[in-house]
Structures are given as C-alpha cells and as structure tokens.
Amino acid sequence: MDEVIVVGGGVSGLTTAVLLAERGLKVRVWSRNLDADTASGVSGGLCWPYRIEPQEKALEWAVRSFRNFAWLAEQPAHTGVRLVRGTLEGGAAASVPPEWISLIGSPPRTPIVDMLTYLPYLRGRLTAAGGSWEQRRIGSLAEASARAEAVVDCSGLGARELAGDTGMRPVRGQIVVVENPGVEEWFLSSEAGVPETTYVLPQPYGLLLGGTADEDAEETTPDPATTRAIVERCARVHPALAGARILEERVGLRPYRPRVRLEAETLPDGTPCVHNYGHGGAGVTVSWGCALEAVRLLRPDGGGGHGGDGGVPAADG
C-alpha cells in the first residue's frame, strides 16, 4: 500500500494525512471546503474534551494530542499553537478528569490553537512530506477508492452521505470575535444540560467569545440575538467587553456522533478504508491521538517512516 486518499480537509483529515505522508506514503487530501469553511476553521481552538464520546477513549486521544500541541507551541508564530493560562468555572471545572488535570496543572494552562494559522501549517507540512491537497467534492467513497489503494474517511458531517451514517448529527455553534480590550487569559464556564457555555479565548486576531450548542440545527447564518446573548454573558466576566467592537460572527456545525467512528473496513470494491470522524466539539483536541490510531489501523505493521506520535519534525525546528 503506497497511495492513500484522505477524504476531508479539516483538522482530522489533515493531521492523519500528515502522519501518513511522513511515513512515506503518497497521500492526497480531497476536501470539499477551503480551510475557513470547514468545521475546524470555525473552531475556537481551545483544547478541551468537549461533547465527544466515548469519554474514556476521548481522554486517551486528548492526552496524546496535548503532548504534540505542547511541542508545537514552541513555535507559535509558525504553527498557531500557544500554551495559555485560564480559568475554569461551573460544571466544566467539576468534570475535569484527574488525568487532564495532571497535564494542564493548576491554574490550568492548555493549548489554544489559531485555526487560521494551524490549518495552513498542516497543509504546508503535508506538502513538505510529498503529499497534496485538492478542493474536490465527491458523492461517494467509491470515487476515492477508484483512484487509490486505500482511503481514509475524515468527512465529518459528510459521512451522512458518503458512509451512509445516520448516526451523525450537527451541533450548531455560534461565536463572536471582538477587539481585545487587554484580556490575556482564557475563561470557560459550563453547566450540565445547558446548551450555552461562556468562554473567552484570546487569539492573535481578536478575542473570541462563545458559545452555543444547538443540536440538529444546520442554519449557518449568524443570529443577531444569539450574538447579543453571547456578548452579555462574556461581559459579566469581563465588563469591558460590553462595549467592545464586533469584528466577526461565525457559525460552525460540530460533527457529533454517539461514539466517534474510528475503525477499519473493506469497501465493496475491496479497497481498505479507515473511518475517522464524529469528534463532536473536540476535533482539534483529539486530532493527533485519533490520527495516530487511524494510521495504525491502516498500517498495523507500522509502515516505516518517522514513527512516534507526530508533532514537530526536526527539520521544522
């Protein structure tokens, strides 16, 4: 097996493609959307195991990914990854697993990823390893399997059509970007059973405020009333935000599934396929852990190459 097509150009697809290419395979990524239009591109970028099942496996993937993000944070301007201190309140603080606490410390310090920098970084790393990226819409996985010896399905919500997966559900999230009045630490508060969360995330391009989690909602036009509610909640934490200038409103659809689908199968034409989708609100958080498992499912012999967990190759510094 030397040639693989990865379907899906969000963080899961690109991370998996990078690991495969750096192990010597010829990898092509077929993405329906450009970076900013993927669910990953709209993500706030706080590494946190949010709205993902099963929790035990998600924590394992998140811990493995955290180590890679900490490594990538050594070059924040290049990768878009920074380690930033913050505050947890409410249910978010009460539900933190001890394994995660041991990583993020107290007060917590966790990766925040600027997706507008990070996704191009991953594509650049893919290209450096000999892979390629193409904007391409397909109607079935058979279109990919006809062109490669193996397929990796990282299609997110697209798996409803491409893999016939009726378990996939959109969870709509709206966020607001405002001018930063000087906030340097992140804040997160949530309560069990409440779709709204309150979070404040400092990014290089502004302060990102959130958020919402509307199940089975697919409208991607920002709602003005929701924007006002988000700003009001965040202004209770930082009063200066009440008058902050709004730079942008974003809406993304989290690809939620009752359980992440991370498994291998053989497509009808005999082509091996690994599915890696359904990460809910934690696609960035678990990306490296899930990608490594996907690689092992596709190449259980290890397949040569760099090995290890990924991260920053020595050539990149």
pLDDT value of residue 100:
82
Q: Does 284 show up as a binding residue in the annotation?
A: yes
Please tell me whether 304 is known to bind a ligand.
Answer: no
Q: Which residues pair with 169 in a beta bridge?
A: 256
Return the pLDDT at 311: 55
Q: Which amino acid is at 23?
A: R
259 is in an annotated binding site: no
Q: Is 199 assigned to a binding site?
A: yes
| Two structure tokens written together for 6 | 């990865």
pLDDT of residue 102: 83
What is this structure's pTM? 0.94
For the chain, the structural domain boundaries read 3-316
Q: Is 87 labeled as ligand-binding?
A: no
Instruction: Map 259-307 to HEC letters.
Output: EEEEEEEECCCCCEEEEEEEECCCCCCCHHHHHHHHHHHHCCCCCCCCC
The response to whether 285 counts as a known ligand-binding position is: yes
Whether 307 has a binding-site annotation, put simply, is: no
Domain 3-316 - what CATH class? alpha beta
pLDDT of amino acid 239:
98
Measure the CA–CA gap between 44 and 141, rounded to whole angstroms.
Answer: 30
Note the pLDDT of residue 160: 97
Residue 105's pLDDT is what?
87
Per-residue confidence (pLDDT) for residue 257, from 0 to 100 = 96
Exposure string of 193-225, with b = 16+ CB inside 10 Å and e = fewer, is eeebbbbbbbbeebbbbbbbbbeebeeeeebee
* The pLDDT value given to residue 301: 67
> DSSP for the chain?
--EEEEE--SHHHHHHHHHHHTTT-EEEEEESS-GGGSHHHH---B----S-S-HHHHHHHHHHHHHHHHHHTTSHHHH-EEEEEEEEEEHHHHT--HHHHHHHTTTTEEEEE-HHHHHHHHHHHHHHTT-EEEE---S-HHHHHTTSSEEEE--GGGHHHHS--TT-EEEEEEEEEE--SS--SEEEEE-TT-S--EEEEEETTEEEEE---EET----SPPHHHHHHHHHHHHHHSGGGGGPPEEEEEEEEEEEEEEEEEEEEE-TTS-EEEEEEEETT-TTTTHHHHHHHHHHHH-TT--SSS-TT-S--GGG-
280 marked ligand binding residue: yes
What pLDDT is recorded for position 97? 77
CB of 199 closer than 8 Å to CB of 93: no
The answer to whether 139 touches 159, Cβ cutoff 8 Å, is: no
CA distance 232 to 211: 11
49: Cα separation from own chain's centroid: 11
pLDDT averaged over consecutive 10-residue blocks of the chain (317 residues)?
94 98 97 94 91 89 95 97 94 75 87 97 98 97 97 98 96 97 95 84 97 95 97 97 97 96 97 97 96 93 52 41
